[in-house]
Structure 1
Amino acid sequence: MLELSWAFFAIAGPAAIFAGISKGGFGSGAAFAAASILALVVEPGLALGVMLPLLMLVDAATLRPYWGKWHWPTARLMILGGLPGVALGAALYARSDPDVLRVLIGAISIGFVLWQVGRGRGWIRIAAAALPRWAGAVAGCVAGFTSFVSHAGGPPAAVYLLSLKTTKTEYQANTVLIFFAINIFKFVPYAFLGMFTAQTGMANLVLAPFALLGAWIGVKMHFMVPERAFFALTYVLLMATGTKLIWDGLT
């Protein structure tokens, strides 16, 4: 049961802004931090259900600034690859209890930080040459799965997209379009699995302006602010929330 209290909105409002900034300006990679944060205070399924309509709203709001700047063959490949990944995520969710999801979301949160730090330190290297097209389909499938269970499709998508050595704006445009489509795919199974309730709908109405504000800030920041400062804050949030979720799930 989702209780729409002042305490909930004190956490959910900043989380929605943060998700909007990430999706609007920084490749969607850290947007799932909002769901990780919400999962600390509500059941993980409800946290995911609250965030999906907000992420879809941000997707729609950020399509226009990046319209036509994506590489359609690449985006199409990863969108089609995302379909079986979404189906796998739905199958897992239907057979899991909330503690399993807490551990999974927490592990993905910490894994994201380790992957990003490893890239920054040179411990993990993106392929020097563009990965083959089949790798794009696989990356799309993994992105669909992780997006379904934690809204964390950004890292697997980035592995393929970064190998293509695209411009910063083309990369951002690709992620906007890819996750716009994958989030639409997720909506129907989320509804059938009971992840949307009257309370999550009311929360969405209140939080929509926060998400749109974040998206607007993110688009502006994309052209003005380096990623380093933004992701430094993200890493701290994700390590803290990921550790807490794993602890809660196991204990």
Structure 2
Amino acid sequence: MSFPLITDPYFYAVAVPAVLMLGVSKSGFGAGFGSLAVPVMALAVTVPQAAAILMPVLLLMDLLGLAAFRRDFDFKFLKFLVPFGLVGTLVGALLFKVLDAKVVAALVGIFTLLFLAQRLLFPPRPDSPPPPRWLGAILTVTSGFTSFVSHAGGPPLSAYVIPMRLSPVKFTATMAAFFFVINLSKWIPYAWLGLLDLRNMATSLALLPLAPLGVWMGVRMARSISPVLFYRLLYVGMLLTGCKLLWDGFH
């Protein structure tokens, strides 16, 4: 009896770089490069299958990210973010079977590009106040929702967190802790939806050794990079994500 994992070489040609990008995302670039993981893997498999395959990989990456940044969380901020994120995952679970993944991809892509355009055309002043909490609540619910559907929760949340002007390490740690809770909350709904089958889990185990490598790369970058370059790379990642999601939505 053969081991029931995916054997198509084309799948691994896109899955390996996708998993490495996801690992680097745990350094804080998750708003950009990490959200590309599912769209890239969707070149070879369906979006739900790509999301399911990444679940064990995400769990290991989240644990490694938490260990690396365990002293740098903003716990007060997390107490505000996490409940709204969990509401978003609940909405995603309830609507998952009736949603068109292309529509969700297009909406997230449009939102990401609009946020980038606003930041570049109307850059905030150093003394500008942070976004209002009501907007933060909406964006965090949206983040939980898009995270459940396609692990693309980074762009909506970053649209709220980036204007807070946290240090790269504080930003990284807070995002890592938030998505650890959100990703953990997906396991039961994913099993209920029948996504955690033997074939997907076996394929995930084959990709699992790449998780520590990606996280190690990201952690080294986050601890050595300047804040200016950090946010520039973040914007580049968001631009690529927005364009790719928009393309997926209309094709």
Structure 1 stretch 111-120 or stretch 49-58: which is displaced more?
Answer: 111-120
CA distance in 1, matches of 2:58, 2:127: 30
Report the alpha carbon displacement of residue 238 of structure 1 after superposing the two structures with TM: 5.0
Label 1:119 to 1:2 Cα distance change in 2 as closer, same or farther (>3 A).
Answer: farther
Aligned partner letter, 1:49: A
Q: Gapped runs of 5+ residues in structure 2? A: none
Residues 148, 186 of structure 1: 8 Å contact kept: yes
Q: Report the equivalent of 2:198.
A: 198
Report the alpha carbon displacement of residue 12 of structure 1 after superposing the two structures with TM: 0.3
Q: Report the equivalent of 2:116.
A: 116
From 10, 18, 21, give the equivalent of 2:21: 18
RMSD over aligned CA atoms reads 2.7
Residues 75, 178 of structure 1: 8 Å contact kept: yes
Q: Write out per-residue CA displacement over residues 134-164 of structure 1, whole angstroms, 9 at most, x where no aligned residue.
A: 5443332221111111212122222332343
From 231, 236, 240, give the equivalent of 1:232: 236
Label 1:111 to 1:126 Cα distance change in 2 as closer, same or farther (>3 A).
Answer: farther
Label 1:222 to 1:82 Cα distance change in 2 as closer, same or farther (>3 A).
Answer: same
Report the alpha carbon displacement of residue 79 of structure 1 after superposing the two structures with TM: 0.7
Secondary structure of the 1:24 match is coil
CA distance in 2, matches of 1:130, 1:123: 13
CA distance in 1, matches of 2:114, 2:126: 15
Does residue 179 of the first structure (1) align with residue 179 of the second (2)? yes
Structure 1 stretch 24-33 or stretch 169-178: which is displaced more?
Answer: 24-33
Q: Gapped runs of 5+ residues in structure 1? A: none
Q: What is the aligned length?
A: 244
Structure 1 stretch 177-186 or stretch 195-204: which is displaced more?
Answer: 195-204
Q: Write out per-residue CA displacement over residues 56-115 of structure 1, whole angstroms, 9 at most, x where no aligned residue.
A: 21111111221121111211211111121111111111223xxx1133224423542442
Label 1:77 to 1:237 Cα distance change in 2 as closer, same or farther (>3 A).
Answer: closer
Residues 10, 44 of structure 2: 8 Å contact kept: no
Secondary structure of the 2:208 match is helix
Report the alpha carbon displacement of residue 168 of structure 1 after superposing the two structures with TM: 2.0
Residues 19, 214 of structure 2: 8 Å contact kept: yes
Secondary structure of the 1:32 match is helix
Secondary structure of the 1:223 match is helix
Residues 115, 159 of structure 2: 8 Å contact kept: no
Aligned partner letter, 1:85: G
Residues 36, 242 of structure 1: 8 Å contact kept: no
Superposed, 1:1-251 pairs within 5 Å as 3-96=6-99, 100-122=100-122, 128-225=128-225, 226-227=229-230, 228-229=232-233, 231-232=235-236, 235-236=239-240, 239-240=243-244, 242-243=246-247, 245-248=248-251
Structure 1 stretch 20-29 or stretch 212-221: which is displaced more?
Answer: 20-29
Report the alpha carbon displacement of residue 126 of structure 1 after superposing the two structures with TM: 10
Aligned partner letter, 2:161: L
Aligned partner letter, 1:232: V
CA distance in 2, matches of 1:26, 1:238: 14
Aligned partner letter, 1:235: L
Label 1:110 to 1:126 Cα distance change in 2 as closer, same or farther (>3 A).
Answer: farther
Residues 143, 152 of structure 1: 8 Å contact kept: yes
Aligned partner letter, 2:122: G
Report the alpha carbon displacement of residue 47 of structure 1 after superposing the two structures with TM: 1.1
CA distance in 2, matches of 1:50, 1:158: 24
CA distance in 1, matches of 2:76, 2:120: 29
Label 1:6 to 1:183 Cα distance change in 2 as closer, same or farther (>3 A).
Answer: same
| % same residue | 31
